[in-house]
Amino acid sequence: MPKPDRPLPPLDSPSRELDGSAPFLHNTPAEACRDRREQTISIAGRSFTLCLPAAADELLDHPATHAAFKADEYLPYWAELWPAAEMLAGALLTHAWPPGACSAHRVWEIGCGVGLPGLAALSLGMQVTFSDYDGTALRFAAHNARANGFCDFATCQMDWRHPPLEGRATLLLAADVVYEARHVPPIVKLIQQMLAPQGECWLVDPDRIHAGRLRRELDRERFVYRETPLQLDRAPAPFVCGTLYRIRRHRAAAGMSRHEPS
């Protein structure tokens, strides 16, 4: 996509920063993503304008990325808008929420990147905290939230292996977070730790090869979940399929089977 005709404004600092207290976090250098682009996404009758790095692939060759990968096998995947994020935002916006339900939700987006699902939640009136391993991703997410007219949100730089909260999120959002096998156990542990007793995690996976391990880990930890197949037509990009997992604690899901496709 071409760069916008006018320069984008400087990135804002995150709003109401929270400390994830992780042993290793990363901040992609600002100069590595000085060139930016704008992209407008229309979902369920709503439009969101996003600011992203202009050349995400170039970040992979940056010396800071090499150092982060050596230290913790980290790569800046946050700089792309992945199909799962669009599918998750669409699932939120098309869901039939009961009256008053949205304003009561304390939402955490895990691995938010540029923050599209969190923006969708904000547009519904939910209380949103954007979280990511990379502090620069949070700067983009905060900038995007403000650029779309939202000012009441929080950010938290955190490693999902070290969740900062105990049972406070009523809705956890996660898009394409189990792209490596090593991520599955900590993600399930994070859900166990951060989800409120009556809360729910909405996790969208683009049917990657580790989805089976995710289901096994959820079963092992006695979560209950429903699966909903999703599709995304990103013309001219390839058609993408995925699955929405709506995950709850066992004791909070009376009448819900351990694994019930919907």
Tens digits of residue pLDDT in 218-252: 999 999 999 999 999 877 777 899 999 999 997 54
259 found inside a domain: no
Q: What is the pTM of this model?
A: 0.88
Express each pLDDT in 73-98 by its tens digit: 677 788 899 999 999 999 999 999 99
In a domain, 5, yes or no: no
Mean pLDDT of 20-26: 66
Is there a domain that residue 158 lies in?
yes
| Residue 86: exposure state from Cβ atoms within 10 A (0-12, 13-18, ≥19) | buried
Total number of domains in the chain: 1
In a domain, 91, yes or no: yes
- How far does CA 134 lie from the centroid of its chain? 12
Residue 159 domain-assigned?
Answer: yes
Phi, psi angles (nearest 5°) of residue 136: -70, -35
Using alpha carbons, list the distances in angstroms from residue 78 to 115, 167, 216.
Answer: 9, 26, 27
Range of the domain at 179: 78-252
Question: Please, what sign has the CA dihedral across residues 101, 103, 79, 189?
Answer: negative
Mean pLDDT across 118-141 = 95
Residue 204's CATH number: 3.40.50.150
Within a domain: 70: no
Q: Return the SS3 of 104.
A: helix
Q: State the DSSP code for 258.
A: S
Assess if residue 150 is contained within a domain: yes
Q: Distances in Å between the alpha carbon of 172 and those of 145, 157, 200, 258?
A: 18, 16, 6, 19
What is d(CA 135, CA 24) in angstroms, rounded to the nearest whole number? 12
* Residue 15 resides in a domain: no
The DSSP 8-state label assigned to residue 68 in this structure reads H
